[in-house]
Amino acid sequence: MATRTIAGKTVQVNDEGFMTVPAEWNKDIAVEMAKDEGIADLSPAHWKVIDFCRESAGVSGKAPTLRTITNGSGVSTKELFTLFPKGPAKKVARIAGLGKPEGCV
């Protein structure tokens, strides 16, 4: 398993750059991962989605799908694509320190 230093912390990642140990995640890492994904600043709306995804993954053991995010967070699909352009479920999973969601290419 590979490692990567993000925001001064060395974390375990897979070959696609997803963290493999969610407990290694923190908000500073999220900010850096967001920048890597082209999101300069994380707004309260971004954090609402990120926090929901982390809570959901804590219960289910896996990153939530797009449908789960929209149904559970109260954020519409359109808004989700605005917050996390071009593949929101995959982007938010990476930023939230979770594995790749099932069904994502």
User: What residues contact residue 67 under an 8 Å CB cut-off, 6+ apart?
Assistant: none
Report d(CA 58, CA 83) in Å as an integer.
22
Q: What is the pLDDT of residue 103?
A: 64
pLDDT for residue 104 is more than 90? no
CA distances to 16, 18, 30, 74, 80 from 6, rounded to whole Å, are 15, 12, 9, 30, 25
Rounded CA-CA distance 34/30 in Å is 6
Q: Which of 7, 31, 45, 104 is catalytic?
A: 104
Residue ranges of domains in the chain:
2-95
| 66-98 pLDDT, tens digit each | 999 999 999 999 999 999 999 999 999 999 999
Active site residue 53: no
CB atoms within 10 A of CB 57: 20
